[in-house]
Amino acid sequence: MSLEGQLALITGAGRGIGKTIALKLARSGADIAFTDLAPEIEGLSSEVEALGRKCWAYQVDVTQADLVEEMTRAILAETGRIDILVNNAGITQDNLMLRMRPEQWSKVIDVNLNGVFMVTRYVLKTMVRQRSGKIISISSVVGFSGNPGQVNYSSTKAALIGFTKSLAREVGQRGVTVNAVAPGFIDTAMTRALSDSQQEAILQQIPLNRMGNPEDIAHAVEFLASENAAYITGTILHVNGGMY
């Protein structure tokens, strides 16, 4: 699946699933631009450059409209195009509904949903002008199944389904496809924060009997970003070991 000559922007790619996606797309030939909050984001840049690809790192919070706009301008000044957008940045702030504080609700909505709106808003203009582009958002199995302690998080991940399906209908005629990947439980810092008993309970729900790894998600994103997925839009690809 060659992505030679394409520019992929991945949000929240300093670690975890986003980083693995960035390296996967780079191995397929794409140049990479990415955002992250952490100041030490050069690690991924050197790994991408070692693969012979260009890489631009931006310490940008996806909820900050002015920074997102500035970043999009900067990428376009460097490359002249954005072919692939992966909306990956996401956070959890879990609590049972009865204990959930309004700021826990708002923060998760802000990053996981408003952040996707913000970045897509600026990138879409370019894709529509190009008459081509692939937008892939990272949803979650819990957006479909629900999960106790995650009313905030699962609401955002369910909302991304509506976002994906609606936007796909808006921009299909402009040559832009819009899809989502819904991972199950993937072994990253996000799930390592769960207790042993929570992880054990999750494992029992997975027919393939293991947590997923970031590579499992990166394969799905690479496919949706490739020309092999040219006739797929408005679709949610479940990658969850059969748990849903």
- Residues serving a catalytic function are 153
Cα 53 to Cα 165: distance, rounded to the nearest angstrom: 32
**Is residue 241 part of the contact set for ligand NDP (CB under 6 A)?**
no
- In 3D space, the residue among 178, 180, 183 whose CA is nearest the CA of residue 216 turns out to be 183
Binding of residue 30 to ligand NDP (CB under 6 A)? no
Of the two residues 4 and 40, which places its CB atom closer to ligand NDP in the complex? 40
Please provide residue 178's backbone torsions phi and psi, each rounded to the nearest 5 degrees.
-135, 115
Q: Interaction with ligand NDP in 47-86: which residues (CB under 6 A)?
A: 61-63
Q: Least distance in Å: CB of 39 to ligand NDP?
A: 8
11 binds ligand NDP (CB under 6 A): yes
Amino acid found at 54: K
Please tell me whether residue 183 binds ligand NDP under the rule CB under 6 A.
yes
Q: Which long-range contacts (CB under 8 A, 24 or more apart) does 152-157 make?
A: 152/93, 152/94, 152/95, 152/100, 152/104, 152/105, 152/108, 152/109, 153/92, 153/93, 153/94, 153/108, 153/112, 155/109, 156/90, 156/108, 156/109, 156/112, 156/113, 157/112, 157/182
Confirm or reject binding of residue 115 to ligand NDP (CB under 6 A).
yes
Asked if 192 is part of the footprint of ligand NDP (rule: CB under 6 A), the reply reads no
Q: Which of 6, 140, 150, 177 contacts ligand NDP by CB under 6 A?
A: 140
Pick one of 6, 120, 179, 188: the residue that binds ligand NDP (CB under 6 A): 188
State which amino acid sits at residue 21.
Answer: I
Q: How far apart are CA 28 and CA 30, in angstroms?
A: 6
The answer to whether the beta carbons of residues 31 and 54 sit under 8 Å apart is: yes
38 binds ligand NDP (CB under 6 A): yes
Is residue 138 at the binding interface for ligand NDP, with CB under 6 A as the rule? Answer: yes
Using CB under 6 A as the binding rule, whether residue 32 contacts ligand NDP is answered as no
Q: Using alpha carbons, select from 12, 21, 8, 80 the residue that is nearest to residue 216.
A: 21
9-17, 48-56, 120-128, 164-172 -> range binding ligand NDP (CB under 6 A) = 9-17
Beta carbon nearer to ligand NDP, 43 or 175? 43
Point out which residues bind ligand NDP (CB under 6 A). 11-12, 14-18, 35-38, 61-63, 88-91, 111, 115, 138, 140, 183, 185-186, 188-191
